[in-house]
Structure 1
Amino acid sequence: MDATSRRAARILIMVPAAALMLLGLNSGLLLLGVAMPVVNEPDLHSTLLVFGFVGTLISLERAVALRAAWAYSAPVLLALGSVITITPLPTIIGKVVITAGLVMHLLQYRAIWQRQPMTATAVQAAGAVTGIAAGLAWCGGVPPNRLVPLLAVFLILTIAGERLELARLASPGARAERLLLILSVGLSASALLTLTMPVIAVPVSGILLLAIVVWLLRYDIVRGTIRQHGLPRFVAVCVYLGYGWLLIAGAGWLLGGARTEGPVYDATTHAIFLGFVITMIMAHAPLILPAVLQVDIPYHPALYVPVALLQAALLVRVVAGDAWGITGALQAGGIGAVVAILLFAATAVTVSLRERGKKKSRVAT
């Protein structure tokens, strides 16, 4: 398969992932009571975003890195299973297909480990195991709101492992890496226990999550790149913002305890999935998408606009909406977050097309 065919295949996988992201956002607004033109199952809000969008994107990135045809089965199964859950077919079929995709995702890390054993890979594999547990529990009938700790840890450890890969450039040391691995395995185990003993496991998960954030703040290379300019500073700002939201989430789990609804649940959940995960995706998009889709997304100051809008929207939602109980603020914050995500996508496309036009102009002259 030549480069053009490979790119086309990756785009074919990303198209349903992007559509699932839109449906997931649509479901989130429906849960807030916002009238939407598309009415789908609101309870699938978290699973569509975590498995259908983020999971597909992460596993596609790993498949590209492995350069092995079998590795693409992970993103294909995750996207396909998520699509099935919103069709008239029995939902269990989609759940099983998603879980199969998560198993293939774990096998991706096994293949990466065989090529080069690294602590970062082990941390990400711990996240993948947690994701499989979430898929199995979902197949067993556990509702999505009880799966939140598992879904969160799946993504948190995946991103933490990626940050550790970069931290190795600053040589954190074998002892520091072992500490992160111990904390990660502990967080994965405590997330699993939230299914059976949430009253104990959720606060313990909060403690371990806070410890991981402290580790990342201590060893992440953004401590140095924040003083640079252009893309390195943009990434560093986003990473620090993401860590800030993760601190809020860890405190929420520790102090708020086991909850599956209510203001504390809403605040901690969206601090993780929007404040941390989406901000991190925005940070890494100019680095990841060129490798995955072979498109250039050069740095432009306009990228800060959707990032700032997302942070403002989340503050409105968490402070005025969750803490003060203002329903309008919840809806405004939710709408603002959706607009920020769509604006980031539009901005990335615009700067990419602008760069492509510049290249054509240079070639023509």
Structure 2
Amino acid sequence: MLGGLAAVSLAGGIAGGLWRLGVALPDPLTFDRAGQVLLVHAALMICGFMGTVIGIERAVAVKHPAAFIAPLASGSGALCLALGQQALGAWLGVAAALVFLAVNAAIVRRQSVAHTLLLLAGAAAWVAGSLLFALGRDGNAVFPWWFAFLVMTIAAERLEMTRLMVRRPAAHLMLHAVLALLLTGAAWSGWAPRAGGVAYGTALVLLAAWLARFDVARRTVFTHGLSRYMAICLLGGYAWLAVAGVAWAAMALGAPTRDAALHALGLGFVFSMMMGHAPVVLPSIARIKLRFGAFFYLPLAALHLSLLMRLALGSFGEPLRAAGASLNAATIGFFAATVAGAAVAWRLQHGAAGAGKSR
């Protein structure tokens, strides 16, 4: 059920994004609720899809039934948004974020370390953004908080996965300072968009530099197999994070870089991280085992190429930007099909192996 709600959120978010650029056929204006989907595209993608997936992951880690209330509320809220019930959907999103905050607070009580505290701060950012959305604030106020939730969650996961690495104390102080600037920029953006946006974009660039310098990916990229694939996903994501930071600051100063800021961050960074972590995370939260192979690089390459087309070539005309967006959507479907194929391949391989042993 929760997986179905996440899938509906993703499909609705993709449809809304395409309709924004006039891609979808038939004409979206022929649908009664199309306008609502256009307005809540970001909410469907960030809170509905990503919030539900992250909520499921955290609930599985906590191993408490009440923790599943968060992804159930976020997925249900996204369904309401897609059906045009914006007020109900928005407040369900607030409820999901509050439960998620409580779940992370419980984790901190069990284990108060750097990555769990960072996860708690990211959950608080989700609460802030969802409250502002429910109260009717615009994207300038809401988006920085929602993206801070995703960025801080990813940064926390990288800290957890590399916790055995030896880093100088100054490195941790630098990270704390960068994330403090990120939250400051998010808070400023609601009432001082120019100053807040510049601070926020600067923090994204600095975070990209920190991750590229101190993440283990810069070493594992020289290995083989899954470790190398993950490293390439991570390093590519960090590059897009830097692009997003520059575009975000430029947008705050009046440049027409909104599409680059939002999608270099949401697709280039966040989806690159998802692609990299999926072969590791899915077996633990969905009990799905995957057969890893070089074919995983195909949707990853498609993601980067489609983003380049959308953000670079798209600056020369709306049709190219729309084509790039269509390829972005196709890439997400391509990756989902790749994961499904990897699951089937694992079953076929191990089923054959089990049959051979039984003989």
Same-fold call, TM cutoff 0.5:
yes
Match of 1:61 in 2: 57
Q: Is the 8 A contact 2:9 2:78 kept in 1?
A: yes
* Equivalent position to 2:91, from 87, 96, 106: 96
Match of 2:352 in 1: 361
Q: Measured at CA, do residues 203 and 272 of structure 1 come closer, stay the same or move farther in structure 2, by a change above 3 Å?
A: same
The total of aligned residue pairs comes to 349
Q: Percent identity?
A: 32
Q: In 2, Cα distance between the equivalents of 1:203 and 1:144?
A: 16
Match of 1:4 in 2: none
Match of 2:112 in 1: 117
Q: Structure 1 counterpart of 2:334, which letter? A: L
Q: Structure 2 counterpart of 1:85, which letter? A: L
Does residue 1:16 correspond to 2:5, yes or no? yes
Q: Measured at CA, do residues 146 and 114 of structure 1 come closer, stay the same or move farther in structure 2, by a change above 3 Å?
A: closer
Does residue 1:147 correspond to 2:148, yes or no? no
Q: Measured at CA, do residues 229 and 124 of structure 1 come closer, stay the same or move farther in structure 2, by a change above 3 Å?
A: same
Q: Is the 8 A contact 2:200 2:248 kept in 1?
A: yes
Measure how far apart 1:112 and its partner are: 1.3
1:3-53 Cα shifts (integer Å, max 9, x gaps): xxxxxxxxx211110111011001111001112357532111111000010
Match of 2:267 in 1: 274
1:92-241 counterparts in 2 under 5 A? 92-144=87-139, 146-241=141-236
1:167-223 Cα shifts (integer Å, max 9, x gaps): 212122444224323321331232022011111111011112212111111111101
* Equivalent position to 1:245, from 237, 240, 243: 240
* Equivalent position to 1:35, from 24, 47, 50: 24
Moved more, 181-190 or 267-276: 181-190
1:275-294 counterparts in 2 under 5 A? 275-294=268-287
Q: Structure 2 counterpart of 1:80, which letter? A: S
Q: Measured at CA, do residues 145 and 43 of structure 1 come closer, stay the same or move farther in structure 2, by a change above 3 Å?
A: farther
Measure how far apart 1:88 and its partner are: 4.7
TM-score normalised by L of structure 2: 0.93
Q: Is the 8 A contact 2:2 2:71 kept in 1?
A: yes
Q: In 1, Cα distance between the equivalents of 2:297 and 2:140?
A: 32
Q: Structure 1 counterpart of 2:15, which letter? A: N
Q: In 2, Cα distance between the equivalents of 1:263 and 1:231?
A: 38
Does residue 1:87 correspond to 2:71, yes or no? no
Measure how far apart 1:129 and its partner are: 1.2
Q: Measured at CA, do residues 247 and 334 of structure 1 come closer, stay the same or move farther in structure 2, by a change above 3 Å?
A: same
User: Secondary structure, in 3 states, of the residue corresponding to 2:206?
Assistant: helix
* Equivalent position to 1:298, from 287, 291, 304: 291
Q: In 1, Cα distance between the equivalents of 2:224 and 2:192?
A: 47
Give the number of the structure with larger relative contact order, counting CA–CA contacts within 8 Å between residues 6 or more apart.
1
Match of 1:327 in 2: 318
Measure how far apart 1:115 and its partner are: 1.4
Q: Measured at CA, do residues 13 and 198 of structure 1 come closer, stay the same or move farther in structure 2, by a change above 3 Å?
A: same
What 5-or-longer segments of structure 2 have no aligned partner?
A: none
Q: In 1, Cα distance between the equivalents of 2:59 and 2:193?
A: 35
Measure how far apart 1:79 and its partner are: 0.5
Match of 2:14 in 1: 25
Q: Is the 8 A contact 2:201 2:247 kept in 1?
A: yes
Q: In 2, Cα distance between the equivalents of 1:213 and 1:172?
A: 17
Q: Note the aligned Cα RMSD (angstroms).
A: 1.6
TM-score normalised by L of structure 1: 0.92
Q: In 2, Cα distance between the equivalents of 1:35 and 1:223?
A: 40
1:220-252 Cα shifts (integer Å, max 9, x gaps): 110111011111000000101100000001111
Q: In 2, Cα distance between the equivalents of 1:88 and 1:317?
A: 29
Q: Structure 2 counterpart of 1:343, which letter? A: F
